Structure formats: C-alpha cells, structure tokens
Amino acid sequence: MSHPNETLLRELYTRFGQGDMAGVLALCHDGITFQVPGTGVMAGVYDKQTFVSGLISKVMAISGGTFREEIIGLGAGDGHGFVLLDHRFTTQGRPQQYRTIHAWEIKDGRFTRWQEFPDDLRAFEAAWDE
C-alpha cells in the first residue's frame, strides 16, 4: 500500500505532463518555494506567482516546447516526497538528457517546498545554456 503523499505526487506530475499548470499550483500552498540550484539561467528561487511566468516559461522557451520528463522512481512519507526523473529536451537542435531528483515538502495535503537536485550540476547547467 502506498502512502497518500505518493498519490498526491503522481497527481501533480500527471497534471504537469498534461500542461495543466493551474492544476499543479492548486496542489501547492500559497507560500510554496521552488528552488533550482547552481548559477545558470534556470537557477533561482521561484514562488507560486513566478513558477509559471519565471521557471516554466524559461523551460519552454529554451527547449522550444520539447521538454519531457519521465518518472523513474517515487517515494513519500509524512511531510515529504522524492521523485527521480529523466529529463529530455532539445536545444538548438541538440538533444539533451539528464537525471534529477525533485524533493518535496508536504503539509496538510499541499506542497510547501520544492528543490531540484540534478545528478550532475555541470551537465544540468550546460543543457540549459542557450
């Protein structure tokens, strides 16, 4: 039997994969933060208001709308969840791919914090360089 937060994570990634950003944000607490590591173009801390206009718009612009992610593994418990993902997209005609972990904090059935942990930060940043 899976933890209820695993079901919540799967719902969030299903909505994201369908392009339903309003649905994604509906699962998030108003004070959520999204943190991307490093010093590259994607790096920074985004809030609920800048998630789509800041982070997601960069992802789609740089990838030309080719960005896709596949869940490799997922786990959750009380207050947290982790998702191992394979990210694939194309930039300037070059295929890009890397693995990353998304770490989530969850409180009262809502996501409160998200952090990305690429398996290779240099490769992650190089993939997003324009």
Structural domains counted in the chain: 1
Are 84 and 58 in contact by the 8 Å Cβ rule? The answer is no
Q: What's the pLDDT tens digit per position in 50-95? A: 999 999 999 999 999 999 999 999 999 999 999 999 999 999 899 9
Reply yes or no on whether the pLDDT at 130 is more than 90: no
pTM comes to: 0.94
Average model confidence (pLDDT) for the chain?
96
CATH number at residue 101: 3.10.450.50
Are 119 and 98 in contact by the 8 Å Cβ rule? The answer is yes
Are 130 and 93 in contact by the 8 Å Cβ rule? The answer is no
* pLDDT attached to residue 11: 97
Cα–Cα distance between 108 and 113 in angstroms, integer? 13
Give me the domain span that covers residue 29.
4-128
